[in-house]
Structure 1
Amino acid sequence: MRFSFHRAALAAAAAAALTLGACSGGESPGAGATDDTAATTLRLWHYESANGAMGVAWDKAIEIFKKEHPGVKVEFERKAFEQIQQNAGMILNSEEGPDIMEYNKGNATAGLLASQGLLTDLTSEAQKRGWDKKLSPSLQTTAKYDEKGVMGGNVWYGVPNYGEYVMVYYNKDLFTKNGVKLPTTFAELESALAAFKAKGTAGLGMSGAEYPAGQLYYQLALSKADRAFVDSYQLYKGAVDFHADPLKYGADTFDAWVKKGYIAKNTASAKAEDMGTAFIAGKTPMIVSGSWWFGRFADEIKGFDWGTMLFPGNKLDAGSSGNLWVVPENSKAKSLAYDFIDITLRPEVQDLLGEKGGLPVAGDPAKITDERTRKMTEDFATLLDQDGLAFYPDWPVPGYYDVLVAKLQGLINQSAQPSAVLDALAKPYVDGIKEIQAK
């Protein structure tokens, strides 16, 4: 999710890059593909920081790869995320690209490149190596695309090996100080919010100027949703009625929480950073946001005890796989790239990822020694076991993130009624799907 909110811009950038690539005189996709069984070099790109969970885990994977392929040279380059995103099409349409790289999942990114013929079909490798058995159905959704580049298709174009999800972060000390019980059900969550309001505190931190408002609206809707709704909303497998539950419930409940003072109206203009730093400062009992905050909170929160929990009562939560390992169609070392992907899914790499605070897709939470990290990872494992990842509210169509931000601000500052907000959310959603399906 940390990268999912700029998909329209990324789509435009990738499309522009593809145009440049087509005009550059480079060979067409697949022109560089050869029999690579004798390849002696693997060119690998990713954009994870050296001291981050993924960076540490991928370094371990490279170490293992080198030991098992003594005659192969690994040429690793750490790239900036935006560098890859903005130039991926042009790079992959040339002979200058890597043999394997990390790339963002979603229709406007990996799906776009797949639809342009720039990524290798990994379906047979996924079946042969058992990747299709290791990854839950919801994780596979972002790895597989159809001919139009829409996720949830039948062809594997990438392999994820970590995940992300939206949860509740809570300040244990504020709960204790105010005599409020930690909630385990949705009803108890509303009781906790009411208890904090009675003490003069808005129980839920919020950011109306960025993604947190959309995530809360979606979490509330998901409390009344099932997998069929998610498939309809995200994958266009059925009609979506914005004036019926679960979306109506999401908007109505969000509005009610503002009216009751559970969410402060002055957070309509707050950024996600404002919400996060308020939690770090110990001013906020709870926030609803993603696992991407976890490492920062662990590093910066010093003055109070805190924890995480799944959104009380939900079986579905916003979340998805992390980014993907993709193999460019022009790769000259595809067999080596497949071997590397396989290594990243091994227990020794997955368990290291979990120990460092990442969210492994095939790890053992019991191997994690830090209690708080283990709890977060166990909750993610629970989501995977119940196929509970429901992606993100802005994913269905390009540009929808900006729509969600602008319209949900109306609920926070009370300038719009829920029915009007739902009207404003419905039209661009429907129009966007028509555009995609007309390709």
Structure 2
Amino acid sequence: MFSRLRRSAAAAVVVIAVAGLAACGGADEEAGDGKTLKLWHYEGATSAMGVAWTEAIKRFEASHPGVKVVFEEKGFEQIRQGANMILNSSDAPDVMEYNKGNASAGLLAKQGLLTDLSAEVDKRGWGKLLNPGLATTARYDQRGVMGGGKWYGVPNYAEFVMAYYNKDLFAKYNVQVPKTLDELVTAMDTFKRNGVTPLSVGGAEYPAQQILYELALSKADRAWVEDFQLYKNKVDFQGPQLTYAATTFADWVAKGYVDKNSAGIKAEDMGQAFEQGKFPIMVSGSWWYGRMTKISGFQWGTFLFPGNTLHPGSSGNLWVVPAKAKNKALAYDFIDITMSKDIQNLLGNSGGIPIAADQAAITDPKSKELLALFDTIVKQDGMAFYPDWPAPGYYDVLVAGTQKLINGSAKPAQVLDEIAKPYNDNRANVGG
């Protein structure tokens, strides 16, 4: 999301952050001359990935004298909506961050727009750094379904969805950290009785659908996840998992746990509202963690969605090399640097989840807390990917569906029928 789909405005921050490292434009930056690496990513400068990759750029330029890293100002939504056109043109970057899953990297791989990295993965040993669960999102078959045999991307971090909570508000209203879903409901009841809306939610983008998915996963098992994500067997959208999710989500709206105005709130605004202390709980991804460490107005903590052993999560977004990239060798070298121990350790100490760090080198206390949560999920085989992954365009389908649950314009059963059709159409299209 998206796995997490995030922060359209972040690209502007990225450009500012790397202004001292790379300049845009200019006749001397002719692509394909082996002296220019055209790089796109959409991580905020203060995020763990932004910090680590800025350092990776410095190291790349130091180890490649005469080579310049060039950024262009791109946001996530800009790339997501225009990827097919961009990557099928002479303007394609040499390497870029791209969302993983059937609907994203898988679709581009199927369309022949991404470079098959399999030989490079073997040569540089990247595959040995990834456990099978994380590698699933990097490999796709001829249908564009993840878990296939060819590598079309390389992740250098992992991510998952959790609950962030305001310790000060929990203490003020004598609310305990919930360990079960019933306890979470009790906690939200307490906040609501005291005039506090419990959940900071962004219904205009990915966050609401991830809450919906968490609720479905509370009634699901690994087999259901593989049926839903990998098309192993048909999924009943009126079955117990999704019916419980939709009816419970609608009930949370009716009880005031979710503000009806949140249907129009974007992820960034949701995050800022939590950071400003306006809400006690925010259910979202580990990609916020680095930013949360900068909060000074209150004490905060995290907990896994209570009662669940399965959680939205996976490898992080992928480094992909477009098929029309003109400096592929440089792209491979840059990816290699982001997989190095030093950059991985920096990522881990900046609030990210590295996939190849020296664990003894992670000394930041908050980073250790995050890695402990991640370790819990890994030991439970709890990575359940993201709800928008199975089909192209499914992200928008789920945004529309959760918005209807929030504003009450459709009943849960109607919403489930609406999100079932494009899923089943794509399943039939790829022969699932």
- Could you state the TM-score of these two structures normalised by the residue count of structure 2? 0.81
Select 2:139's aligned residue among 122, 138, 144.
144
What is the aligned partner in structure 2 of residue 165 from structure 1?
160
What is the aligned partner in structure 2 of residue 223 from structure 1?
218
- Quickly say closer, same or farther: Cα 1:385–1:364, change in 2 above 3 A: farther
Instruction: Say yes or no: does 1:78 pair with 2:71.
Output: yes
Q: CA RMSD in A?
A: 3.3
Counterpart secondary structure, 2:174: coil
- Quickly say closer, same or farther: Cα 1:134–1:265, change in 2 above 3 A: same
Q: After TM superposition, give the deviation of residue 250 of structure 1 in Å.
A: 1.1
What is the aligned partner in structure 2 of residue 287 from structure 1?
282
In the alignment, the residues of structure 2 paired with residue 374 and residue 267 of structure 1 have an alpha-carbon distance, to the nearest angstrom, of: 32
Instruction: Say yes or no: does 1:419 pair with 2:401.
Output: no
Q: After TM superposition, give the deviation of residue 365 of structure 1 in Å.
A: 5.3
* Conserved? CA contact 1:142–1:152, under 8 Å: yes
* Conserved? CA contact 2:344–2:356, under 8 Å: yes
In the alignment, the residues of structure 2 paired with residue 3 and residue 81 of structure 1 have an alpha-carbon distance, to the nearest angstrom, of: 19
Counterpart secondary structure, 1:434: helix
Instruction: Say yes or no: does 1:382 pair with 2:376.
Output: yes
For residues 205-225 of structure 1, give each alpha carbon's deviation from its aligned partner in whole angstroms, at most 9, with x where no partner exists: 333333322111101111122
Once the two structures are superposed, the pairs formed by residues 174-185 of structure 1 within 5 Å of their partners are: 174-185=169-180
* Conserved? CA contact 2:341–2:356, under 8 Å: yes
Select 1:353's aligned residue among 347, 356, 364.
347
- Quickly say closer, same or farther: Cα 1:51–1:172, change in 2 above 3 A: closer
In the alignment, the residues of structure 1 paired with residue 317 and residue 264 of structure 2 have an alpha-carbon distance, to the nearest angstrom, of: 30
* Conserved? CA contact 1:207–1:274, under 8 Å: yes
In the alignment, the residues of structure 1 paired with residue 103 and residue 110 of structure 2 have an alpha-carbon distance, to the nearest angstrom, of: 10
In the alignment, the residues of structure 2 paired with residue 124 and residue 263 of structure 1 have an alpha-carbon distance, to the nearest angstrom, of: 48
Counterpart secondary structure, 1:153: coil
- Could you state the TM-score of these two structures normalised by the residue count of structure 1? 0.79
The answer for unaligned runs of 5 or more in structure 1 is: 7-31, 34-38
- Quickly say closer, same or farther: Cα 1:81–1:361, change in 2 above 3 A: farther
Instruction: Say yes or no: does 1:201 pair with 2:196.
Output: yes
What is the aligned partner in structure 1 of residue 19 from structure 2?
none
* Conserved? CA contact 1:355–1:373, under 8 Å: yes
Q: After TM superposition, give the deviation of residue 353 of structure 1 in Å.
A: 1.0
Q: After TM superposition, give the deviation of residue 292 of structure 1 in Å.
A: 3.2
Moved more, 364-373 or 250-259: 364-373
Select 2:427's aligned residue among 421, 424, 433.
433
Moved more, 218-227 or 413-422: 413-422
In the alignment, the residues of structure 1 paired with residue 90 and residue 270 of structure 2 have an alpha-carbon distance, to the nearest angstrom, of: 44
* Conserved? CA contact 1:141–1:151, under 8 Å: yes
Bigger radius of gyration among the two:
1
Q: After TM superposition, give the deviation of residue 317 of structure 1 in Å.
A: 1.4
For residues 254-286 of structure 1, give each alpha carbon's deviation from its aligned partner in whole angstroms, at most 9, with x where no partner exists: 233334443344544444344333322322111
The amino acid across from 2:217 in the alignment is L
* Conserved? CA contact 1:248–1:422, under 8 Å: yes
* Conserved? CA contact 1:42–1:337, under 8 Å: no
The amino acid across from 2:135 in the alignment is Q
Counterpart secondary structure, 2:67: strand
The amino acid across from 2:205 in the alignment is E
In the alignment, the residues of structure 2 paired with residue 41 and residue 336 of structure 1 have an alpha-carbon distance, to the nearest angstrom, of: 9
* Conserved? CA contact 1:365–1:374, under 8 Å: no
Counterpart secondary structure, 1:407: helix
What is the aligned partner in structure 2 of residue 317 from structure 1?
311
Counterpart secondary structure, 2:302: strand
- Quickly say closer, same or farther: Cα 1:87–1:197, change in 2 above 3 A: closer
Counterpart secondary structure, 1:389: coil
Q: After TM superposition, give the deviation of residue 2 of structure 1 in Å.
A: 6.1
In the alignment, the residues of structure 2 paired with residue 74 and residue 381 of structure 1 have an alpha-carbon distance, to the nearest angstrom, of: 39
* Conserved? CA contact 2:47–2:288, under 8 Å: no
- Quickly say closer, same or farther: Cα 1:205–1:99, change in 2 above 3 A: closer
